[in-house]
Amino acid sequence: MSQTNSGKDSQASEAKKAISLPISRVRLIMKSSPDVSSINQDALFLTTKATELFVQHLALTSFNNRSQTEANTLNYSDLAKTAEESDTFHFLTDILPKKILAQDYLKTLEQMQDEDSDF
């Protein structure tokens, strides 16, 4: 019988190409959650695919939202800003603290201390 699998092979290779993240690593991360015993194949695939969508979504949203529009570069601060302003990405605020320069912080601190000393 001649190879009738060529159509299915291209479907399979499409499925291969459709995933650009290592599923084994995704599984490892999922397993590190407490009380997770086993994960079915579908769940693993869906999570991996969803993660890809998430990266695209976060990157594009942050890029479009960026504070320095002329620079054309996506920075850490753009991501932190998006996490704070967006409902969807708000769960990231704990791991995306806003960064400020030490000198700015110390300046703010001084101002606060000055205000206190006024009392």
- Contacting another protein within 7-66 (CB under 8 A): 7-9, 11-12, 14-16, 18-30, 32-47, 49-60, 62-63
- Single out the residue of 70, 81, 94, 119 in contact with another protein (rule: CB under 8 A): 94
CB of 83 to another protein, least distance (A): 8
Give the Å distances, CA to CA, from 21 to 10, 44, 49, 100. Answer: 20, 12, 8, 33
67 binds another protein (CB under 8 A): no
Look-up: residue for tokens 């320095």? 68
Distance CA 75, CA 59 (A): 10
CB of 13 to another protein, least distance (A): 8
40 φ/ψ sector (left φ>0, alpha ψ -120 to 50, else beta): beta
Size of the site for another protein (CB under 8 A): 79
